[in-house]
A and B are shown apart, each in its own frame.
Chain A
Amino acid sequence: MNRRDFGWLAIAALTIAGTAQAQTPGQTPGQTQAQTPAPTPTQTWAEVESAAKGQTVYFHAWGGDPKINDFIAWVGEQAQSRYGVSIEHVKLAATSDAVARVVAEQAAGQSEGGAVDLIWINGENFAAMKAEGLLHGPFATNLPNWPLVDVAGKPAVTTDFTLPTEGYESPWAMAQLVFEYDSVRVPAPPVSLTLLQDWIVAHPGRFTYPQPPDYLGTTFLKQVLYGVIADPAVLQTAVDEASYEATVAPLWTFLDTIHPALWRAARAFPANEPAMGQLLADAEIDIAFALNPGRASAEITAGTLADTTRTFVLDGGTIGNASFVAIPFNASHKEGALVVANLLLDPAVQARAQDPAVLGFQTVLNPAALSPEATAAFAALQLGVATLSPADLGPTLLEPHASWMTRISTDWITRYGVVQ
C-alpha cells in the first residue's frame, strides 16, 4: 500500500466516522453504509486524465445568471482543448433539483451510470448529500492543483457552514456579503449595523431583504445576528436549545425596529438575489446586497446597473463562504468530473472568474503559491469601478453552523411569514 492509498483510506474512515456523528436522529444507521468507498485508489492522475478523454461531463449548476452560464461555457472550451473533456451545462432553477435526481437514483438502486456528473453546491445541499451518502470521494485534496488552494488564509474552502468538507467537495470561488448602493441617492452609506438601522428608519420604503428561507435573505439575518449578539462564537456550534431564545432575542428586536420602514412596509419581500438586484436597478430601493463583491461591477459592465452604483461592507466584517463542486456517488463520468474540478482551480481559470468584466468572483487560491506568470495575471486584473479592494473588504466572518440557518429561518416564518 503506497502513501496515497493510505491517504484515501484514512480520509474515508474519518468521513464515515464524521457522518455517523452528523446524522440526524431520524436516519437509519444503515445509510452510512452507502457512503461510497474511496474511488479506484490505484488510479494515478495521468490515468484519470487519459480515462477522462472523450467523456462528456454533465455539470448541474444554477442557470439563473447569464454571466455564470457564459463562464461555464468558456470553461467547457478550455476542458475540450486541454483535456478532450466536454462539459454539458445542465441549467438548474434550484440546486435541489439535481440533489432530488440523485436521491431518486439512489432510491431506485441505480448505483452507477447516474445522470449527474458534477454539481455546483454548498451549505445545506452539501450537508444533506454528504449525510445521505450521495457523494463520491474524498477527492478534492488529491487534485493536482489542490496545493495552490489557500487553505490557511481562507478557512471557508475546507469548512462549509462549519461542516468539514473532508475532500468531498472542491472549492472554486469565494463569496462575501457586500452592500450595494447608488451613490447619487445615498451620498454617505451606513457602514455599521447601527448606522444601517438608523438609515432604514430614516428612509422608509428604501431597503428590503429577500424573504427567508431564501439563501441570501437568511445570510442577511445571520449578518445581523453577528452584529447584535453578545458572543458570536456560539454561532460556530449547533444551536443550543436552552439558550437559543435569549441569544437571538436582539435579532428580533432589530427586525421589529426596521420592518415598518422596509420596502412595502414588510408586507412583501423580493424572492431572491436577482429579484432584489432588479429592485435596485428599478430604483425601488436604494441599498441592496449580494454574496459577491464583484456583482455590482459586473452588472455595470453588462449595462444593467447604473454606473453610479458602489459597494460597502459593515464594520467588523461580513459573512463569507465558498462555492464548491461535488461529484455524486453514481456519476457516469467521474474521471471527467475530476478533471473539470481540477481545471476550476487552474490559476488562469481563477483569474478569469475574478475579472469584473466576467464574474467578479474572488479566487480561492493562495497568491503566495502562484507562479510569477499567474501572479501577473491576477495583478493585471482591473478591480472594477464598484468593487472594494481586498483591504477594504475587511475581515470575513465564518458562516454559522447550518442549524442556525434552519432555525432562524423557521422562526422568521413563524414571526413574520403570515401578515396579520
Chain B
Amino acid sequence: MRLRAGLLRQVPRVTVLLLTLPVLAGLAGTLIPAANPAALRALANWPGLEGAVRLSLVSGIASTLLALMLSLGLVAALLEHRSFGRVQALLSPLLSVPHAAAALGLAFLIAPSGWIARMLSPWATGWTTPPDLLILNDPMGLALIVGLTAKEMPFLLLMILAALPQVDANRRLTLAASLGYGRIAGFGLTVLPALYPLIRLPIYAVLAYAMTSVEMAMILGPSLPPGLSVQITQWMTDPSLAHRGTAAAAALLQLVLVIATLALWHGAERLIRRALRRQAARGRRAVPLDLLRRPLITLSVVLAAALFAGLAGLSLWSVAGLWPFPDLLPDWTLTTWTRVAPDLLTTTGTTLTLALLSTGAALGLVLSSLEAEHRYRLSPGAGAMALLYLPLIMPQVAFLPGLQIAALRLGAMEGVLAVASAHLIFVLPYVYLSLAAPYRAFDPRIALQATALGAGPARIFWTLRLPMLLSAVLTAAAVGVAVSVGQYLPSLLIGGGRVETLTTEAIALSSGGNRRIVGAYALLQMLLPALGFALAIGLPRLVFRHRRGMLPA
C-alpha cells in the first residue's frame, strides 16, 4: 500500500519526464536551425512576412472570439431548454470531422461553382458558367475565419457542457432570474465567473490551434501571401531542402506570436472581469440584452448547418461520377468506394489501435497525476505546463524532424508502439486540459463526507470521484481519440510510412484535392471519433439511467 502510494506520488513527475525528452528534442529540432543569421535574414527578407503575421493574428483571434461568443451565447440562451439535449446530440459528428474535410466541404458549399451557386443557377442567377468571384481565399481571410469558427465552436461547446455540472448553472440562473436579471445578463454575471476558469485551457488550445492550423488555411485562406503556418509547411517541404532554416526561423516567430497572443488574451480576461464586476455592482438588470438571443442562435445554427451541408456535399462527391456546373446532383458511381474499400479494414484497425493505446495511456497518466496532485497537494509548476503546451503550439512540421531524429538515435522501433508514443505527446495535453478543470472543481465536501464515513482515498476515487466525473472523463477520452485519429505527420514520420492510418491515407490522397476521395475518407474519419463522442454522451445516460441528477444539465 505504501509502495503504491509512493508510486502515485511520482506519477506527475514521471509524466513530465516522459514528455521532456520528446518535447526538448522537437524544440531543439526547431531552434537549432533557427538560430542562424542567414535563416533569420531570409525570413526578414520574405516580402509576405507582414501579411502572413497579420493573417495569423487576425484569423486566430477573430475565430476564437467568435466561436467562444457563439458557444457561450448558445448555452446562455438554451440552458434548461428542451432542445438543449438535441444540440448536444448534433455536436458529436461535427466535432470529429477532420479539419481538412470540413474546409473542403465548406469550400464546395460557398465557391462560385459550389452548391449554393448551383442551387440558384441558372434559373435565378442566369449563370451557365460559374461567376469569377473571389469568395474563397479572400485576402482578408474571411472565409478562413468562418471555417475556423464553425469548426471550433462545437469543441468549445462540448468543453462547456463537460464543465457545466461543476458550476451548478441552473440554480445560479434561477437565482439571477428571480432577482429580475435578463437571461444573458444573468448568465454573464452568475455563471460565467465560475465557468470561465474551467474552460480557460481549452480556449487557449483553440486559440493556439487557430493561429497555427495548416489544412484549413490552405484550403480556405488567402495565398498571396499565405498565413505563417502554411508558409512554414511550404518552406519545410521545399524539394531543394534549402529553406529548412527559414522554416525553422518562422516556426520560432510563430511560437513567439502564439505566446504573445495568449498573454494578450489573458490581459483581456482581467479587463473583462473588472468590467463584469462593475456591472454587477451597478445592479442593472439588462433585460434588453436578451434581444441578442435570437441572432446568436441563428448565427450558430447557420454555421453548424453550413458545416453539415458542406459535409453532405462531400459525401455526395464520394459517389459522384461527372458533376458539372450547374448540376445540383451528380452522375452516380461507386468507383471511389470500390477503390478505397480493399485497404479499409486494416487501416481502420491500425487507426483504432493507435487511438486506444495513446488515449488509454494519456487517460491513465492524467487521472493519476490529477489524483496525486489532489492527494499530496502538489501543484503543477509553470515549467511543466509549458512543456505540456509546447507540442500544441509548435508547428508540427518544424517540431517533428527533431523528434524523429531523437527517436532514430534511441534506436526506436518503428511500428505501432512508436507511433502511439508519438501520438501520446499530442493526445496527452488535450486530455489533460479537457479533464483538469472539471477534476479540480469536484466538490471537496463529497470527499470529506466519505472520509468521515471511513472511506480511504482509493475507495473515494473509484466509487465516488470517477463515477461522478464519468461524463468529463469520457469526453476527454473522445477528444483524445479524435486527436489521435487526426495525426498525419507524426504517423508518417515516426512510422517511417509503415504504419498506415486512415489519416495518412486520406491526407496523401487529398494532397490532390480530389473531392471524391476526400469525401469517402472524411466519412470514415468521422465515423471513429463520432463513435467515441457518441459513447461519451450516451454512456453516462445508460450508466446513470436511474440517477438523472448525475447527468450534465
Assess whether A283 is in contact with B129, with CB atoms less than 8 Å apart: yes
A66 to B409 Cα, complex, angstroms:
35
Tell me which of A70, A97, A303, A406 contacts B321 (CB under 8 A): A303
Out of B46, B130, B241, B498, which one reaches A283, CB within 8 Å? B130
The residues of A that contact B227 with a CB separation of less than 8 Å are none
The answer to whether A96 and B238 touch across the interface, beta carbons within 8 angstroms, is yes
A234-275 contacts to B (CB < 8 Å): 263-265, 267-269, 271-275
Give the size category of A's interface with B.
35 or more
Determine whether the beta carbon of B497 is less than 8 Å from that of A99. Answer: no
The answer on a CB contact under 8 Å between B129 and A64 is: no
For residue A281, CB closer than 8 A to chain B, the reply is: yes
**Which stretch from A35-43, A87-95, A345-353 is at the chain B interface?**
A87-95
Which chain B residues (313-343) contact chain A, with CB distance < 8 Å? 321-325, 331, 333, 335-336, 339
Contact: A282 with B224, CB < 8 Å? no
Q: Does A60 interact with chain B (Cβ within 8 Å)?
A: yes
Q: Cβ of B47 and Cβ of A278 under 8 Å apart?
A: no
- Which of A108-116, A138-146, A366-374, A387-395 makes up part of the contact surface? A108-116
Quote the shortest CB–CB distance from B339 to chain A (angstroms). 5
**Is B324 a contact partner of A283 (Cβ separation < 8 A)?**
yes
Interface residues of A in 184-233 (CB under 8 A from B): 185, 204-205, 211, 213
Residue of B nearest to A262 (CB): B132
CB neighbours (8 Å) of A64 from chain B are 508-514
Interface residue total, chain B, C-beta cutoff 8 A: 63
Q: Are B511 and A94 in contact (CB under 8 A)?
A: yes
Within 8 A of B (CB), among A92-143: 92-101, 103-105, 107-110, 115-116, 123-125, 127-128, 132
Write out, one digit per residue, whether chain A residues 308-332 have a CB within 8 A of any chain B CB (1) or not (0): 0000000000000000000000000
Q: Given A268-B223, A268-B224, are A284 and B240 also a contact pair (CB < 8 Å)?
A: no
Q: Determine the distance from Cα of A339 to Cα of B188 in the docked complex, in whole angstroms.
A: 70
Q: Does residue A33 face the partner (Cβ distance < 8 Å to B)?
A: no
Contact of A263 among B132, B405, B513 (CB under 8 A): B132
Q: Check B129 against A303 for contact (C-beta < 8 Å).
A: no
- C-alpha spacing A273/B511, complex, angstroms: 10
**Residues in chain B near residue A264, CB distance under 8 A:** 132, 134, 137
Q: Does B239 contact A (CB under 8 A)?
A: yes
In the complex the two chains form, is B493's CB within 8 Å of A97's CB?
yes
Cβ of B467 under 8 Å from chain A: no
A62 to B510, CA, bound (A): 11
Q: Is the beta-carbon distance between B331 and A127 smaller than 8 angstroms?
A: no
CA distance A137 to B218 in the complex (A): 38
Contact yes or no, A271 B224, CB < 8 A? no
Max count, chain A CB within 10 A of own CB: residue among B234, B240, B333, B509: B240
Q: How far is the CA of A230 from the CA of B236 in the complex (A)?
A: 35
Query: Could you say which residues of chain A place their CB within 8 Å of the CB of B516?
Result: 304
B508/A63 in contact, CB under 8 A = yes
**Stretch of A12-20, A150-158, A173-181, A409-417 at the chain-chain interface:** A409-417
Asked if B322 and A204 make an inter-chain contact with CB atoms under 8 angstroms apart, the answer reads no
Residue in A58, A211, A271, A413 whose CB lies within 8 Å of B513: A271
Cα distance, A70 to B509, chains bound together (Å): 12
Among A65, A88, A205, A303, the residue within 8 A (CB) of B512 is A65
A11 CB-CB contact with B under 8 Å: no
Q: How far is the CA of A52 from the CA of B113 in the complex (A)?
A: 51
Q: Which residue of B lies closest to A114 (CB)?
A: B496
Answer whether residue A419 sits at the interface, using C-beta atoms and an 8 A cutoff.
Answer: yes
B509 and A282: CB pair below 8 A? no
Instruction: Verify if B507 is at the interface (C-beta below 8 Å from A).
Output: yes
State A306–B327 Cα separation when bound (angstroms).
13
B34 within 8 A of A: no
B515 at the interface (CB under 8 A from A): yes
Shortest CB-to-CB span from B326 to chain A, Å, is 9
- For A275, give the chain B residue with the smallest CB separation: B513
Give 6 closest A-B pairs by Cβ, nearest first: A115-B496, A64-B512, A90-B497, A63-B508, A205-B132, A91-B508
**Further pairs besides A93-B507, A213-B234: 18, Cβ < 8 Å:** A62-B508, A63-B505, A66-B514, A90-B497, A92-B492, A93-B488, A100-B236, A104-B404, A108-B408, A115-B414, A115-B496, A124-B239, A213-B238, A264-B134, A271-B218, A284-B132, A417-B224, A418-B225
